Amino acid sequence: MKKLILPFLILLITTVNGQTTWQVCVSEVSNAPCSNNNGVFTPANLNISIGDNIQFTTYMMAISGGYDGSTHQIRFNGTSPQDVVLPISSNILSQITTVTTPAFNTAGTFTMECVNSAHCFNFAQILEGWNCTGYSVTVGTITEIEEEKMKKEVRVYPNPTSGVININLLPIKNKNPKVYIMDVLGKMIETKENLTTDKLTIDASSYKKGIYFVKIVSDNGNVIKKVVVE
């Protein structure tokens, strides 16, 4: 029953009035009650927007899980308004417990830490008092997150090339994309605007051999890719 319920809890994301509540499952390393976790928080790393919050959920009875406490104390980069306490249920009829943080209103990357020595078996971490590092939440504006996604998904290929330059514009097709190609001195070689295609192909057969920069501009942000013409 646990494995049927919890994957749904982990993946569920709710949005109300522009605010998104992200679901994170909390478990211990040795006895992972939340699906097939390999750590304390699942997912381990989140990218969220300013104004969003996180709901932590655990599905575990204290009497059956080997926990040495009755709560998870969760904090972000030290003392924070978002620090919360997640109880561990001892009620056999109601094993799921949740707690929701206040909204995150400061941009940046914050570690998620949990106090419970049953979680981590790293002695140095236990001595520090706050265990289970390596988990984080990155809070940014919607534009920052979309721009990071754009950098990963917009591809320029082949590289190196001797004939054509292909640019995958599908992720930003509806975001007013523009493409500019410049040489190493900053001289504009090509300008492509008012694009509505999934893929742009540029004939580079007449280009001199060397390094060029492809600047892609959209409503989601800007990205510059380097391409070598042979």
Tell me the per-residue pLDDT of 30-71, one tens digit each, with 9 for 90 and over. 444 444 444 578 788 888 878 889 998 886 554 444 344 467
Residue percentage of the chain with pLDDT more than 70: 67
136-150 mean pLDDT: 78
What is the overall mean pLDDT for the chain?
A: 75
How far apart (Å, rounded) are the C-alpha atoms in residues 151 and 142? Answer: 14
Residue 143 has pLDDT above 60, yes or no: yes
How far apart (Å, rounded) are the C-alpha atoms in residues 67 and 89? Answer: 11
Q: 2-140 belongs to which homologous superfamily?
A: Cupredoxins -  blue copper proteins (2.60.40.420)
> Within 12-70, where are the H helices?
62-65
How far apart (Å, rounded) are the C-alpha atoms in residues 185 and 211? Answer: 10
For the record, the structure tokens of 10 come out as 């982990």
144-229 is classed in which CATH architecture? Sandwich (2.60)
How far apart (Å, rounded) are the C-alpha atoms in residues 122 and 14? Answer: 35
Say yes or no: do domains 2-140 and 144-229 share a fold: yes
Residue ranges of domains in the chain: 2-140, 144-229
CB 125 within 8 A of CB 156: no
More confident site: 64 or 160 = 160
Residue 3 has pLDDT above 60, yes or no: no
Q: What is the pLDDT of residues 80-90, one digit of tens each?
A: 888 888 877 66
Confidence (pLDDT) at 12? 47
Residue 120 has pLDDT above 60, yes or no: no
112: closest CA among 45, 39, 58? 45
Q: Regarding beta strands 108-115 and 71-76, do their DSSP bridges make them parallel or antiparallel, or are they unpaired?
A: antiparallel
More confident site: 18 or 180 = 180
Confidence (pLDDT) at 97? 82
150-162 mean pLDDT: 91
DSSP-based helix, strand, coil % in the chain, nearest 5:
15, 45, 40
Confidence (pLDDT) at 93? 59
Residue 119 has pLDDT above 80, yes or no: no
> pTM value?
0.51
Confidence (pLDDT) at 94? 59
Q: What is the pLDDT of residues 189-222, one digit of tens each?
A: 999 988 999 999 999 999 999 999 999 988 877 8
Confidence (pLDDT) at 214? 95
Long-range interactions of 104-107: CB distance < 8 A, separation 24+:
104/48, 104/50, 104/51, 104/52, 104/53, 104/54, 104/137, 104/139, 105/50, 105/51, 106/50, 106/139, 107/50, 107/139, 107/140, 107/141, 107/144
